[in-house]
């Protein structure tokens, strides 16, 4: 009984202690929650409000990631709670100011208030417009008062169009760790002072107008990442530059550096992981055996130089190797890189069989060389694992290997401009998004994957032109092209790539030098899409021996932009379903045996800028409306039965003799509406730009469809570049 009472007392005591601990925690939380946000110092608040009053806001910006942070600043509130302001929790002193991408417009003078905050440790003014002062050019330079920020560790002044030379008044910033001045308009040479700041780890001066060689570095610091790309620097790289022994990443691309690549000097950079020297004028030999001694080096990019030879065939330590667009001779060497680019050189011989022993090389680009022999079967196997294979413009012979039909890894296969022959293997890989077989010696029926359903559901670019294929186009082939039926935006493509295991690097440049031939009037242009996402769509079966009717199923491919079936033996009428190709910009059905009238449904193609129906047996009136009012005689040449505008032959009932007057209201986004607005602006208002553009369009025949296409592919690449910059900032 006594033990029972004792146990009850112990249990009661434990319950009391538990209750007291819970109460104590709750009281502690309540007290801490009542603790006020530290008040910022009055002088800091005054400085910020003064800065706000000197700036204006550009609400016209179309960058959705930017917003006006200073518009939320109010003198009646604690500045430590303002957007972009970070305060010390104990003292209330401001230590961080982030006004990046805040739509600010104005100029930074020597008296700009944030530069007087000597306790400031982090300052980010990137992506604004501080080049707006019409007073004098001095206001477009970086103020000398920035040297007052002696405690600063992070300074970002990028993307602001600052002018003048590199600011020497930051040499006293002994604590500066990360310094961003990229994407401005800085001029002059690069002095040695950035490389002597004792705490500097990250320096980005890329995309400016800096010139001259890099000055000799007297007392090198411990900087780890240096980005000087996209400037105008020249000459040889100073030997003292290689005394920056802590370098991990070095990017000197897109300048005018010349001379030999000093592989022996590079050995001093024992921590180097990434070296980018592309798009310069380096020449001579590259010593891969020496560079292989840099055990941490995984990425070497030397493309677009004047390199002539390799002194070794050892590239085993590199994950990424790009030697493309040089003049390197010799046979292909051994490598174990995930990405291997040697296109546009003078390599000869055959693909060495040991290549089959490699494991999962993501990208293999051997294009534009003088390689011959047969294509190894292993390249298309699941064990090899390549995502992109580009062998175009060589002298390969024989048949395409019987690639594994159930392998879902390969997305880009470019074998054009070789001497390949025979029928296409029925087991071509179904995961392909791009298939380029142009200008070979293939023949036979188009029976690709005829026994597999569905086949080629991801295909977006297919070019079989310049071969000897014959027979009727199978309807099922076009019915299975699901990727050409539904539009996909950029974010969806990146997400899809991520699911497939591709890194953002792969996702944002799927294809290297994939080209598609299209016609503009009577001339043929080769459009080359370099390292872009698969958002361009095209079917080119021209210059073969296809016959029969054009399948109605092509009209289901609503996202198709280029269709070229010219120089074949197609018969019958033009399918009215082609009027459903609402994204079509180039249509070439010339040099066939097509008959009947041109379907009026074709006038629904409001993006159509290239049309060629010449050399057929078409009859009747040419349709009126939209883009059909803009095409010239050449589009219909050789069809003696056609009549109406733009031909001089009038139709019997007068129909089709001239185009209708332009409507006052065109569909939003219609190229016709755009052109007429341009003309009316030019002639109605006398605007010089309108006159110039109108002259360019109507007299030189500038292909607007191509302009739109270039703009469309320019944006993703710029997005990739900005993401790269932001990603590096986030990493630090």
In the predicted model, is pLDDT for residue 564 greater than 70?
yes
In the predicted model, is pLDDT for residue 678 greater than 80?
no
Number of structural domains the chain divides into = 2
Strand duo 461-463 + 468-472: pairing: unpaired
Mean pLDDT of 51-67: 88
Q: What angle do CA 438, 443, 449 make, to 5 degrees?
A: 85
Indicate the burial class of 428 (C-beta count within 10 angstroms; 0-12, 13-18, 19 or more). buried
**Higher model confidence: residue 387 or residue 44?**
44
**How many other CB atoms are there within 10 angstroms of residue 423's CB atom?**
15
- Contact (Cβ atoms closer than 8 angstroms) between residue 428 and residue 448: yes
Domain of 563, in residue numbers:
478-660
Backbone angles phi, psi at 263, to 5 degrees: -60, -40
**Higher model confidence: residue 392 or residue 681?**
392
- Ranked by mean pLDDT, the top range of 108-122, 179-193, 329-343, 414-428 is 179-193
Domain boundary at 638, 660, 682, which? Answer: 660
Domain boundary at 129, 159, 186, which? Answer: 186
Residues 478, 311: Cα–Cα separation, whole Å: 50
Residue 717 lies in a domain: no
Residue-level pLDDT at 613: 98
In the predicted model, is pLDDT for residue 100 greater than 60?
yes
Residue 729 lies in a domain: no
Residues 558, 555: Cα–Cα separation, whole Å: 7
Residue 724 lies in a domain: no
pLDDT band at 691 (very low <50, low <70, confident <90, very high): very low
Residues 706, 520: Cα–Cα separation, whole Å: 10
CA nearest to 323, candidates 345, 297, 342: 342
Mean pLDDT of 107-112: 80
Q: What is the mean pLDDT of the chain?
A: 79
Mean pLDDT of 692-713: 34
Mean pLDDT of 688-710: 34
**Higher model confidence: residue 671 or residue 367?**
367
In the predicted model, is pLDDT for residue 684 greater than 50?
no
**How many other CB atoms are there within 10 angstroms of residue 620's CB atom?**
16
Residue-level pLDDT at 307: 96
Mean pLDDT of 34-60: 84
CA nearest to 394, candidates 364, 369, 421, 365: 369
- Ranked by mean pLDDT, the top range of 481-495, 522-536, 599-613 is 599-613
How distant, in Å, are the alpha carbons of 48, 315, 469 from that of 542? Answer: 66, 41, 10
Residue-level pLDDT at 347: 96
**Low-confidence winner among 138-152, 224-238, 712-726 (lowest mean pLDDT):** 712-726
In the predicted model, is pLDDT for residue 506 greater than 60?
no
Residue-level pLDDT at 315: 64
- Ranked by mean pLDDT, the top range of 195-199, 331-335, 525-529 is 195-199
**Higher model confidence: residue 488 or residue 644?**
644
Residues 532, 714: Cα–Cα separation, whole Å: 9
**Low-confidence winner among 151-155, 593-597, 630-634, 712-716 (lowest mean pLDDT):** 712-716
SS3 category, 408: coil
pLDDT band at 534 (very low <50, low <70, confident <90, very high): low
Q: What is the pLDDT of residues 309-328, one digit of tens each?
A: 987 666 667 889 999 999 99
Q: What is the pLDDT of residues 144-171, one digit of tens each?
A: 888 889 999 999 999 998 888 888 888 8
- C-alpha dihedral sign at 698, 700, 705, 707: negative
What's 114's domain CATH number? 3.80.10.10
Residues 626, 602: Cα–Cα separation, whole Å: 10
Sequence-separated (6 or more) residues with CB below 8 Å from residue 17: none
In the predicted model, is pLDDT for residue 137 greater than 50?
no
Strand duo 85-87 + 94-98: pairing: antiparallel
Six-digit token string for 38: 């530290």
CA nearest to 567, candidates 460, 456, 479, 439: 439
pTM: 0.78
Mean pLDDT of 60-84: 91
Residues 201, 222: Cα–Cα separation, whole Å: 6
In the predicted model, is pLDDT for residue 134 greater than 50?
no
**Higher model confidence: residue 96 or residue 28?**
96
Residues 314, 570: Cα–Cα separation, whole Å: 53
Q: What is the pLDDT of residues 393-440, one digit of tens each?
A: 999 999 988 765 556 678 888 999 999 999 887 767 677 889 999 999
Residue 3 lies in a domain: no
SS3 category, 310: strand
Residue-level pLDDT at 729: 41
- Ranked by mean pLDDT, the top range of 403-407, 569-573, 704-708 is 569-573
Q: Which long-range CB contacts under 8 A does 138-144 form with residues at least 24 apart?
A: 138/164, 139/107, 139/108, 139/109, 140/107, 140/164, 141/167, 142/108, 142/167, 143/108, 143/109, 143/110, 143/112, 143/115, 144/110, 144/169
Mean pLDDT of 277-303: 92
Q: Which residues pair with 518 in a beta bridge?
A: 525
Strand duo 641-643 + 617-621: pairing: parallel
**Higher model confidence: residue 679 or residue 314?**
314
Residue-level pLDDT at 70: 95
Residue 402 lies in a domain: no
Residue-level pLDDT at 23: 40
Q: What is the pLDDT of residues 226-270, one digit of tens each?
A: 999 999 999 999 889 999 999 999 999 999 999 999 888 999 999
How distant, in Å, are the alpha carbons of 31, 144, 436, 726 from that of 161? Answer: 49, 17, 42, 18
Residue-level pLDDT at 384: 66
Q: Which long-range CB contacts under 8 A does 257-264 form with residues at least 24 apart?
A: 257/233, 257/281, 257/282, 258/234, 258/282, 258/283, 259/235, 259/283, 260/284, 260/285, 261/286, 261/302, 261/307, 262/237, 263/287, 263/290, 263/291, 264/290
In the predicted model, is pLDDT for residue 727 greater than 70?
no
Residue-level pLDDT at 730: 43
Six-digit token string for 333: 């060497």
Helices (H), 280-353: 288-291
pLDDT band at 450 (very low <50, low <70, confident <90, very high): very low
Residue 101 lies in a domain: yes
Side-chain half-sphere CA neighbours of 681 within 13 A: 15
Six-digit token string for 609: 């800028």
Residue-level pLDDT at 585: 94
Terminal CA-to-CA distance of the chain, rounded, Å? 68
Residue 513 lies in a domain: yes
Domain boundary at 636, 660, 684, which? Answer: 660
In the predicted model, is pLDDT for residue 184 greater than 50?
yes
In the predicted model, is pLDDT for residue 358 greater than 80?
no
CA nearest to 627, candidates 642, 613, 611: 611
Residue 21 lies in a domain: no
């Amino acid at each position: 009984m006594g033990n029972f009472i004792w146990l009850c007392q112990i249990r009661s005591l434990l319950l009391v202690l538990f209750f007291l601990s819970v109460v104590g925690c709750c009281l502690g939380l309540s007290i801490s929650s009542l603790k006020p946000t530290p008040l910022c110092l009055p002088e800091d608040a005054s400085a910020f409000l003064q800065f706000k009053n000197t700036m204006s806001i550009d609400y016209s910006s179309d960058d959705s990631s930017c917003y006006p942070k200073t518009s939320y600043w109010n003198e009646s509130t604690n500045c430590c709670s303002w957007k972009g302001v970070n305060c010390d929790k104990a003292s209330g002193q401001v230590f961080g100011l982030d006004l990046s991408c805040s739509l600010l417009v104005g100029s930074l003078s020597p008296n700009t208030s944030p530069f007087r905050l000597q306790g400031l440790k982090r300052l980010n003014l990137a992506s604004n417009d501080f080049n707006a002062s019409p007073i004098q050019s001095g206001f477009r330079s970086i103020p000398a008062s920035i040297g007052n920020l002696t405690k600063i560790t992070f300074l970002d002044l990028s993307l602001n169009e600052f002018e003048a030379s590199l600011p020497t008044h930051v040499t006293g910033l002994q604590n500066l760790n990360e310094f961003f001045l990229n994407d401005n308009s800085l001029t002059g040479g690069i002095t040695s002072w950035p490389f002597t700041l004792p705490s500097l780890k990250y320096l980005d001066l890329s995309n400016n107008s800096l010139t001259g060689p890099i000055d000799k570095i007297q007392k090198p610091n411990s900087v780890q990442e240096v980005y000087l790309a996209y400037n105008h620097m020249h000459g040889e790289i100073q030997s003292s530059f290689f005394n920056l022994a802590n370098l991990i990443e070095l990017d000197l691309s897109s300048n005018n550096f010349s001379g030999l690549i000093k592989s022996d000097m590079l050995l001093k950079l024992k921590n180097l992981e990434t070296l980018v020297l592309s798009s310069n004028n380096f020449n001579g030999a590259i010593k891969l055996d020496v560079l292989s001694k840099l055990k941490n080096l995984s990425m070497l990019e030397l493309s677009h130089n004047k390199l002539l030879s390799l002194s070794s065939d050892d590239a085993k330590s590199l994950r990424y190797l790009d030697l493309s667009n040089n003049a390197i001779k010799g046979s292909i060497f051994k490598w174990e890189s995930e990405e291997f680019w040697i296109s546009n050189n003078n390599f000869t011989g055959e693909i060495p069989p040991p290549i089959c022993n490699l494991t999962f090389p993501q990208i293999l680009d051997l294009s534009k060389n003088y390689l011959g022999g047969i294509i190894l079967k292993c390249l298309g196997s699941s064990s090899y694992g390549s995502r992109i294979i580009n062998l175009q413009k060589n002298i390969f012979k024989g048949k395409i290997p019987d690639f594994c039909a159930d392998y879902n890894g390969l997305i880009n296969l470019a074998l054009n401009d070789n001497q390949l022959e025979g029928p296409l293997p029925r087991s071509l890989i179904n995961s392909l998004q791009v298939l380029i077989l142009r200008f070979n010696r293939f023949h036979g029926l188009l029976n690709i994957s005829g026994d597999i359903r569905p086949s080629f559901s991801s295909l977006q670019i297919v070019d079989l032109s310049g071969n000897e294929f014959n027979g009727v186009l199978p309807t099922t082939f076009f019915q299975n092209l699901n990727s050409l039926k539904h539009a996909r935006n950029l974010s969806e493509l990146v997400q899809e790539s991520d699911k497939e295991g591709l890194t953002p690097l792969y996702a944002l440049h799927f294809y290297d030098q994939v080209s598609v031939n299209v016609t503009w009037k009577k001339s043929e242009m080769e459009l080359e899409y370099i390292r872009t996402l698969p958002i361009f769509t095209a079917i080119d079966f021209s210059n073969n021996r296809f016959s029969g009717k054009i399948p109605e199923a092509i009209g289901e491919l609503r996202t198709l932009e280029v269709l070229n079936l010219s120089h074949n033996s197609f018969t019958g009428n033009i399918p009215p379903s082609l009027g459903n190709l609402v994204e079509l910009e180039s249509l070439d059905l010339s040099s066939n045996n097509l008959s009947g009238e041109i379907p009026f449904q074709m006038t629904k193609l409001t993006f159509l800028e290239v049309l060629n129906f010449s050399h057929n047996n078409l009859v009747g009136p040419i349709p009126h409306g939209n883009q059909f009012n803009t095409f010239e005689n050449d589009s219909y040449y050789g069809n003696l039965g056609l009549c109406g505008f733009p031909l001089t032959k009038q139709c019997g009932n007068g129909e089709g003799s001239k185009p209708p007057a332009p409507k006052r209201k065109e569909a939003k986004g219609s190229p016709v509406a755009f052109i007429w607005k341009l003309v009316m602006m030019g002639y109605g208002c006398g605007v010089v730009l309108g006159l110039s553009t109108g002259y360019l369009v109507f007299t030189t025949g500038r292909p607007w469809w191509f302009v739109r296409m270039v703009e469309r592919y320019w944006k993703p690449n710029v997005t990739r570049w900005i993401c790269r910059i932001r990603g590096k900032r986030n990493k630090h």
